[in-house]
Structure formats: structure tokens, C-alpha cells
Amino acid sequence: MLLHPELYQERYFETYGTTPRSADNSVALAIAFFSFLITILLIYGAITREPTYLLPFFCMQVFDFCVNLLGAVGAISYIPELKLMLKNNPNFPVGDAVDKMDMTTLMMTVVMVSVTILTIKAYLIACVWSCYKILLSFHVKKARNAFMFQINQSDETETHSLLPNYEDAVKDTPKESPPPYTSN
């Protein structure tokens, strides 16, 4: 259902008490753009196996989890206001059912929905973190192999240049044997 912009602003004002500002829309557009950019970095980092590209997305997820946690605590704290807001919102499809609920049922519903959403978000954070750890261990293993390859190559060249050949080593050894061990 599309509304004419003036009707939309009237309904928005009736529901929330303010009119939407273009600055709010600009901030929302900037947040959406940067979220998209960070998500593209995540995909690029996963494809190229670069763990550092996953960190911005991880930080964004942790920040989103914290904001949702605060929102859930706020919603639980203000159940009567939440009930009134949901009842008066014309875009909320089950506003009448919310109006008929008692406060404990509404509170338990809000708690269950909040816990479910936070659990899913925590699981997704754990997925990104485990992917980061796997890519990091891949990089460490790759760096260790490259380091060992360089050491092995340099050892071969240094071994040939530092050690004397066999004839020189035999020539330089003393001819007499060491003195025997004697006890006094």
C-alpha cells in the first residue's frame, strides 16, 4: 500500500509525534551504504583469504548486537508504552491482538523474541569469528612454510660457503691423539 507523501507524513506524525526529516534519511542512506561496503569487504576477504578484511564486519556485528541488547532491555523496561505504541501503529498488523494481551504475556513474548534475535546474532558473530581464526591460521601456516623454505635455501648456500671441503678438513686435523685419561 503506497501512500501519497503528504498522507505518509500525516500518519507518521500521528504515530510518532514528529515528521521525518531529510537529514534522517541522509543518515540512514549513509549507514546503509557503509554497511554494504563493509559487507563487500567481508566477501572479498573470504574469497582472497585475507583475515583483516573480516574485522570491520565483525566489529559492525558486535556493535549491532550491543545496540539490539540495549533496545531489548529498553523494550522490556517500557512494556506499557510499547503496548500503546503497537496498538496505535496502523502499519502493525496484529495491533488488536497486542491490545487484548495482559502485561505478563506481552512481557514474555517480548523477552522470547528478544532472546531469539540476540541468540541468532551471537551465532552469526561466532561464525564470522571462527572464519577469521581459520583464515588467520591459514596465513600463519603459509608464512611459516615460506620462512622455512627461505631458511632451508639459505642453509644450503651458507653450508657450502662456510664449511671447508673434505680435503682441507682432513689436512687441518692434528695427527697425534689426545692424551689418555690418567688417574692420580
Q: Is residue 78 part of a domain?
A: yes
Q: Is residue 183 part of a domain?
A: no
pLDDT tens, the chain, 184 aa long: 455 555 555 665 566 656 566 777 788 899 999 999 999 999 999 999 999 999 999 999 999 999 999 999 998 888 888 888 888 887 888 878 888 888 888 899 899 999 999 999 999 999 999 999 999 988 787 767 666 666 656 555 554 556 667 777 777 666 666 666 776 5
Give the total number of structural domains in the chain: 1
Q: Is residue 118 part of a domain?
A: yes
Q: Is residue 110 part of a domain?
A: yes
What was the pLDDT predicted at 165? 72
> Which amino acid does the sequence have at 154?
S
Q: How far is CA 63 from each of CA 1, 32, 56, 58, 68, rounded to the nearest angstrom?
A: 33, 15, 11, 9, 9
**Count of Cβ atoms closer than 10 Å to residue 61 Cβ:** 20
Q: Is residue 109 part of a domain?
A: yes
Per-residue DSSP letter, 178: P
Q: Is residue 179 part of a domain?
A: no
Q: Is residue 43 part of a domain?
A: no
Q: Is residue 15 part of a domain?
A: no
The Cβ-side half-sphere exposure at 160, using a 13 Å CA radius, reads 5
Instruction: Give the domain extent around 66.
Output: 53-123
